[in-house]
């Protein structure tokens, strides 16, 4: 019995072929991940994110604020108006800047038809960018 020595039996030569099985396993796992993640990337939500102060535009995007209170009174940029005058204002603004955003503030007690009427007036005038103004909920009492 020899201590610390290896046997002198001739061993088989080392295998020089590359084992591709782990590589194929990893690639199949990545393929499954991409297949599952692809629909999530396609169904994204389009947002107009706020801009940084260092990257300000020369002229900010224009907006018209349209409000209807609970009594059904119509306001454009804080001034009382009627539907015909609002349509004329929207048409005039669309000719000046078609990227103008219409910000709708509608009382929650009014029917949905009033909101549709305002959206139709804006789109007929040529303005397709619309925003809906809402209040955040009040914090819960502790």
For residue 132, what pLDDT is reported? Answer: 84
Tens digit of each residue's pLDDT, the chain (142 residues): 556 666 666 677 777 788 889 999 999 999 999 998 887 776 555 655 555 555 455 565 688 989 888 888 898 888 889 999 999 999 999 998 888 899 988 888 888 888 899 999 999 999 988 888 877 766 765 5
Does domain 61-132 fall under CATH 3.30.420.270? My reply is yes
Whole-angstrom distance, CA of residue 127 vs CA of residue 97: 9
The predicted model scores a pTM of 0.53
What is the bridge-based pairing of β-strands 74-76 and 79-81?
Answer: antiparallel
Domain ranges of the chain: 61-132
Whose tokens are 């396609």? That residue is 42
Residue 40, CA distances (Å) to 34, 35, 45, 46 in order: 10, 10, 10, 13
28: left (phi over 0), alpha (psi -120 to 50) or beta: alpha
């Amino acid at each position: 019995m020899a201590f610390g020595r290896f046997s002198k039996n001739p061993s088989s030569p080392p295998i020089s072929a590359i084992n591709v099985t782990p590589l194929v396993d990893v690639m199949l796992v990545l393929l499954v991940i991409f297949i599952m993640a692809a629909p999530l990337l396609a169904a994204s939500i389009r947002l107009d994110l706020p801009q940084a102060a260092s990257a300000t535009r020369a002229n900010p995007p224009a907006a018209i604020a349209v409000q209807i209170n609970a009594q059904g009174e119509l306001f454009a940029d804080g001034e009382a108006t009627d539907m015909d005058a609002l349509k004329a204002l929207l048409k005039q603004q669309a000719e000046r800047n078609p990227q103008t955003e219409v910000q709708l503030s509608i009382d929650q007690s009014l029917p949905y038809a009033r909101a549709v009427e305002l959206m139709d007036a804006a789109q007929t005038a040529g303005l397709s960018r619309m925003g809906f103004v809402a209040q955040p909920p009040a914090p819960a009492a502790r």
